[in-house]
Structure 1
Amino acid sequence: MVTERACLRRSLWPLQVACSFSTARIDMTAAAPAFVSFAPGRVCLFGEHQDYLGLPVIAAAIPLGCRMVVEPRTDGVWTVCTPQVDFTWSCAAGDASLLAPESQPDASAFLRAGLQEALEAGWNVEGGGTVMCSVDLPLQAGLSSSSAMVVAWMQALARVADVALTPHELARWAHKVEVAHFGEPGGHMDHVASALGGIHRIHPDWRGEPLDLP
């Protein structure tokens, strides 16, 4: 029988990675200073998919993730570009709330859902912004690249709106945007692991219990 302790001892990720903000070192004339929003991916060390069943899991954030360089602007348009995969998404803030959720969510749908949820919550993100996004996680490799993007996106929108979120609140927002917004079933391990960073036993009630490797 594989135990939690055995999984932890075999882990290759004794890291304290977490979401972060920093000032972007680029010369921009914008509505506000540019900044960087980073959210890490994760590996599951114990209980893969058990969070779907209301059971605890153990997950660790890794040093790879989603990095967004965000330049707030004032023309009411949000544009997100990821040159490495030739992806560009653009949406006027005023149009976001008029669009129905897509039946098959993808990166564009998650970005739009995040903007919709932020606007409905009264966040001041109507000014728009330009986002240069880079993801150094292998895509579709089970490392939560999409959740890392959503966490980084909601963290960025909150920063623009001057809304202070705790890591747990950020995780709940990301889960709402990626899962609940589309009426999809899904657990919260990915979002909690990315928002909290480090290694945690994640409980069904969203608590993240920090764990140290022996």
Structure 2
Amino acid sequence: MTAPVATVLVVFGRGVTTIGERFVLTSASAARVDAAIDYVHTHREAFAAAPAPLVVFTGGWAEASRGEPRPPEGCCEGDLMLARARAAGLAAHAELKLECRSRSTLENLLHTAGDGLLAGHAFEPRHPLGLVSHAWHLPRIRFLARKVLRLRGAALLDVPAAGGESASHRERVVHLASRLWFLGVTDPARLLRRERAMVASLRRRATG
């Protein structure tokens, strides 16, 4: 039996840094873009008889949670990921979309859904939604996708990125905290309120 192929990918950012006065993707963010590019090229034959795959790059400025201002126009995570994909020629093989106002993984999913970037697509085990990130991040994305998109199990397909960053203790803490703080909550506004309270609580514990 042929394994299902995701014709829609959502790529999650992992931050922006600066070199001099120039804003650039972190190595982890760049690795996630490259994973999406590799996935589309690897499965090009599967896409030949179907509409072009859709790749959504999502990421604003996670640093906003630390009070840092928004980067200049065109320098958010999503902007820079999209630019990297276009420079690699991905637009010739896929439809590319952008979400660049989110500050967290939860907001990535909420804005991607709320802005209609997945409109017209239905996801199930034979036609899963591809999630592009590092393997250590994917469990939390899956948990949040169940909350926001009502998708679970084989309706989601992991597309792990390689390189750029190893798993961190903080990610395990945030994943566990998310499961506790978001228990029984699916409403977008309540999820956002819970997330902000959770982040503030984790920050207090880290500095206390």
Q: Tell me the TM-score normalized by structure 1.
A: 0.28
Greater share of residues in helix = 2
**Relative contact order higher in (CA < 8 Å, ≥ 6 apart):** 1
Q: Tell me the TM-score normalized by structure 2.
A: 0.28
Greater share of residues in strand = 1
